[in-house]
Amino acid sequence: MIFGVGLIGGSLALALKRHSRIGQIVGVGRQSDNMQIALDLGVVDAVAQDAAEALQGADIVMIAAPVAQTADILRSIAPHLTTSMVVTDAGSTKSDVQHSANTLLGEARVRFVPGHPIAGAEKSGVTAARADLYDGKNIVLTPDQHTDPDALVSVRELWEAAGARVTTMSAQEHDGIFAAVSHLPHLLAFALVDELASRTNASQLFDFAASGFRDFSRIAGSSPEMWRDISLANRDALLRELDAYAEELRSIRALLEAGDGQGLQALFERASQARTAWALKKENVIKH
């Protein structure tokens, strides 16, 4: 069963439906109209109104709702979990989710496996879901010392059935990495678009914006609610990354003030080489 049948949860459902060994998928969500759409599109096989109803006969419970809702969902399902049910999530932060599970699930915490699919799009909602979203994509699982090995295997197999590659690491390591390479870029994109939009000549600026602005700002079209929750959930790591980025901007400003073309070119060359190396590595991984 899936709590939150939007882009992430809906795409997982569609991906799993490609495999005949996957049984019935039940969806649970806050908005009845969205759940009806999910049912009409065949993303889920049934919908449930509450946790007790949804959990009947469930093998794996996936929480694909915004991270701020995870604790409430865990609290609602805790009384209805059986010893055979495995619980996992698809949130972009892991330390906070793991703490909530350890606090709220009691003995069932051993069958909770935190997860994060490194896939998505700027559009949200069940109508954006697609079966190939996870093909070849990375999924990070962050089990801790309490995690039942069999539960970990079940969640690993779930994501592999959806076409993904699975990696494991600690929740703390995960949150530090993704504060730098995912959460910070989103904040920067939102900040740039907001700053330009607030200017008196915003219309003129956007009229002349081209591919550079489009590519940099694309992720500012992502769900504001989701990124509000992610930013607050990973606040400490994100604050550290903001400080590091601010220091880099101060360095660039100093080079500009000094008219130091050589220094600017050296910085740009380092960044260009690092970006090119990363892109080539990603391309090679996809090919293989």
Same structural domain for residues 217 and 119? no
- CA-to-CA distance for 71 and 156, rounded, in angstroms? 22
Same structural domain for residues 15 and 157? yes
- pLDDT at position 21 is 63
Residue 281 lies in a domain: no
Same structural domain for residues 191 and 208? yes
Residue 211 lies in a domain: yes
Same structural domain for residues 130 and 106? yes
pLDDT at 288 over 60: no
- pLDDT at position 225 is 87
Contact call for residues 139 and 165 (beta carbons, < 8 A): yes
Tell which of 169, 199, 218 closes a domain: 169
Same structural domain for residues 194 and 151? no
Contact call for residues 28 and 48 (beta carbons, < 8 A): yes
pLDDT 10s digits, 196-213? 999 999 999 999 999 999
Residue 95 lies in a domain: yes
pLDDT 10s digits, 93-119? 999 999 999 999 999 999 999 999 998
- CA-to-CA distance for 265 and 64, rounded, in angstroms? 44
- CA-to-CA distance for 222 and 170, rounded, in angstroms? 27
Same structural domain for residues 56 and 154? yes
In the block, tokens 């929480």 appear at 63
In the block, tokens 């469930």 appear at 58
pLDDT at 35 over 90: no
pLDDT at 120 over 90: no
Which are the contacts of 84, defined by CB distance < 8 A and separation ≥ 6? 59
- pLDDT at position 122 is 60
Same structural domain for residues 137 and 11? yes
Mean pLDDT, rounded, for 169-179: 97
The torsion of the CA quartet 208, 210, 212, 217, rounded to 10 degrees, works out to 80
CATH number, domain with residue 115? 3.40.50.720
Task: For residue 137, count other CB atoms closer than 10 A to its CB.
Answer: 17
What domain count does the chain have? 2
- CA-to-CA distance for 224 and 209, rounded, in angstroms? 22
- CA-to-CA distance for 194 and 44, rounded, in angstroms? 37
Which are the contacts of 278, defined by CB distance < 8 A and separation ≥ 6? none
- pLDDT at position 272 is 97
CATH number, domain with residue 190? 1.10.3660.10
Same structural domain for residues 238 and 225? yes
Mean pLDDT, rounded, for 161-190: 96
Own/partner long-range contacts of 99-103 (Cβ < 8 Å, ≥24 apart): 100/70, 100/71, 100/74, 101/74, 102/144, 102/146
pLDDT at 142 over 60: yes
Q: How confident is the model at residue 51 (pLDDT cuts 50, 70, 90)?
A: confident
Average pLDDT, the chain: 93
pLDDT 10s digits, 9-18? 999 999 999 8
- CA-to-CA distance for 267 and 9, rounded, in angstroms? 41
pLDDT at 57 over 90: no
Structure tokens at 3: 């709590």
- CA-to-CA distance for 136 and 283, rounded, in angstroms? 11
Same structural domain for residues 188 and 99? no
Nearest to 10 by CA among 101, 155, 121, 86: 121
pLDDT 10s digits, 180-191? 999 999 999 999
Same structural domain for residues 140 and 179? no
- pLDDT at position 39 is 92
- pLDDT at position 29 is 80
Helix (H, G, I), strand (E, B) or coil at 94: coil
Phi, psi of 139 (to 5 degrees): -125, 125
Mean pLDDT, rounded, for 72-99: 95
pLDDT at 83 over 70: yes
Residue 279 lies in a domain: no
pLDDT 10s digits, 210-267? 999 999 999 998 889 889 999 999 999 999 999 999 999 999 999 999 999 999 999 9
Contact call for residues 81 and 55 (beta carbons, < 8 A): yes
pLDDT at 19 over 80: no
Contact call for residues 166 and 90 (beta carbons, < 8 A): no
Residue 288 lies in a domain: no
- pLDDT at position 223 is 84
Residue 284 lies in a domain: no
Same structural domain for residues 127 and 233? no
Look at the alpha carbons of 185, 191, 194, 197 in this order and tell me if their dihedral is positive or negative. negative
- pLDDT at position 119 is 87
Same structural domain for residues 128 and 209? no
Residue 271 lies in a domain: no
Residue 101 lies in a domain: yes
- CA-to-CA distance for 153 and 110, rounded, in angstroms? 13
Contact call for residues 286 and 136 (beta carbons, < 8 A): yes
- pLDDT at position 283 is 79
The pTM of the full predicted model, rounded to 2 decimals, is 0.88
Range of the domain at 163: 2-169
